[in-house]
Structure 1
Amino acid sequence: MKRVIVKKGDIFFVKINDTTKRYFQYITNDLKQLNSDVIRCFKKIYSIEENPNLAEIIKDEVFFYAHCVVKFGVKLSYWEKVGNITNVGTFEHILFRGTNDYGTIEGEEPIKVSNNWYVWHINDVVSEKVGKLEGENRKAEIGIVMDPESIVHRIRTGCYDGFYPDYE
């Protein structure tokens, strides 16, 4: 198997279906979340034949931010690299959320709504326990490290597959 090297700034595309695709960029690592890769996915959907300029791609509105392992997605052919651009934006505004109220023990009902949330910014040393998600914290992205299939599902549908508690 070919060795996969990914660098900050790398841009990838994911096929949404046979005729369209969407792009994302690997922007940094988050020491707070297992030093995992952080990506920003862009909103615009392109036809499969289009090959837009990289600078044009990153000017688009961000659809979502997520943690994942970018090279696994390449190795498993979930996405394909198209180039690199050093402009990765800023990170101070990116907010992630987490809760320990996910996962279930066999026979137990999963917790559907959590009031035990914590939030953090990329590379924060300590998470902030906020309890119930209110105000700006409701805009925080789910911060667990997602597998490539879940990233592709979100790129295609706007939602993650699998179960994670909601906040209301």
Structure 2
Amino acid sequence: MDYKPKIEEIVEDEVEFYAHTILKFGIVFNAWYKVGTSKNIGEGHKEALFGSVSLDIYENPNMNPIENWFIGKINQPRIFVGRLNKEYIDKVNRGGVIPYVDIINRLKFGYFKYKLSGWKIENGKNVPIIE
């Protein structure tokens, strides 16, 4: 690949999805590489919304995941919302730290292929279960 990306073009481009991951592992295992730095990270990340079901669900199998959602934005504490409103279906990204391998699969297939409590795959997208 001869094309040398311009950092400002990259950071101003459309964002496919937001995810928390550990960058170092992706670099160590040659999943991606660093091409530069920019102080301009845009404004879109401020609206990124993450959602996850309460971790208590793994200790209490009788807990209903639909009624136990947490949401949060970058650098803000998560808040318990209970049941998600329908308005969140297209806005919420998976919360938690996602392994680099799953980030790659999300890029390849358009959705995370593994099952996670509170989430389903619908029309080739990961969507929160709200009903």
Provide TM-score, normalisation by structure 1: 0.59
Q: 1:128 aligns to what?
A: 79
Letter of the 2:51 counterpart:
R
Q: Please, which moves more after superposition, 68-77 or 83-92?
A: 83-92
Unmatched runs of 5 consecutive residues or more in structure 2? 120-128
- Aligned-residue sequence identity (percent) comes to 30
Q: How does 1:4-43 map to 2 (within 5 A)?
A: none
After superposition, the Cα gap between the structure-2 partners of 1:122 and 1:87, relative to the gap in structure 1 and judged at 3 Å, is same
After superposition, the Cα gap between the structure-2 partners of 1:49 and 1:157, relative to the gap in structure 1 and judged at 3 Å, is farther
Q: 2:30 aligns to what?
A: 77
Q: 1:152 and 1:61 mapped to 2: Cα distance?
A: 18
After superposition, the Cα gap between the structure-2 partners of 1:128 and 1:103, relative to the gap in structure 1 and judged at 3 Å, is closer
Q: 1:147 aligns to what?
A: 99
RMSD of the alignment, in Å? 2.5
Q: 1:68 aligns to what?
A: 21
When you count helix as a share of all residues, which structure comes out higher?
Answer: 2
Q: Number of residue pairs matched? A: 115
Provide TM-score, normalisation by structure 2: 0.73
Task: Return the match for 1:58 from 1, 11, 24.
Answer: 11
